[in-house]
């Protein structure tokens, strides 16, 4: 399990750039960023090297930021790998609230899944039982 940075961001010109500059000025490195948007605001989800410091820095700069526990799963970078991961969760009654993927290196990808806290144990057992590797931050940053 890893901690993800979640930022509620006004959908205005320059706001995403300001968010990224704030993190850069604090020497916080992002490994992944995804945005879900509406007409008024966006939800920015970031995997970064120091989520605890990032929340403090962003709060001081006027951003609304929180930490969220998510599962990070290493999968082969090939067609069908995500389908196999999701099929491993079939029959567990685990609901995936959201997910996204990013490339780790040339042959591995990382799938990030948000699972309800009460379902994490079932999800982790199913994922590992299917032969996938659950990652911790040092696996990503290391």
Tell me the per-residue pLDDT of 15-44, one tens digit each, with 9 for 90 and over. 999 999 999 999 999 989 999 987 788 999
R_g (Cα) of the chain, nearest Å: 16
Residue in 16, 25, 32 with CA at minimum distance from that of residue 53: 25
pTM strictly above 0.75: yes
* Euclidean distance between the first and the last CA atom of the chain, given in angstroms as a whole number: 15
For the chain, domains (ranges, CATH) are: 2-69 (3.30.2130.10), 70-141 (3.30.70.260)
Q: How far is residue 19's CA from residue 111's CA, in Å, rounded to a whole number?
A: 24
**pLDDT digits over 48-107, tens only?**
999 999 999 999 999 999 999 999 999 999 999 999 999 999 889 998 999 999 887 778
Cβ atoms of 132 and 74 within 8 Å: the answer is: yes
Q: If 0-12 CB within 10 Å is exposed, 13-18 middle and 19+ buried, where does residue 18 land?
A: middle
**CA pair distance 25, 8, nearest whole angstrom:** 20
Longest dimension (CA), the chain: 45
């Amino acid at each position: 399990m890893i901690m993800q940075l979640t930022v509620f961001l006004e959908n205005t010109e320059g706001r995403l750039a300001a968010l990224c500059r704030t993190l850069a000025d604090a020497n916080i490195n992002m490994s992944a960023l995804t945005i879900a948007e509406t007409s008024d605001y966006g939800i920015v989800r970031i995997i970064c090297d120091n989520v605890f410091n990032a929340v403090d820095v962003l709060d001081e700069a006027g951003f609304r930021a929180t930490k969220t526990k998510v599962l990070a799963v290493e999968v082969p970078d090939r067609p069908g790998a995500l389908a196999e991961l999701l099929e491993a969760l079939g029959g567990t009654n685990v609901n995936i609230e959201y997910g996204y993927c990013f490339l780790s290196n040339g042959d591995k990808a990382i799938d990030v899944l948000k699972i309800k806290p009460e379902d994490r144990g079932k999800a982790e057992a199913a994922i590992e039982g299917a032969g996938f590797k659950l990652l911790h931050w040092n696996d990503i940053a290391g």
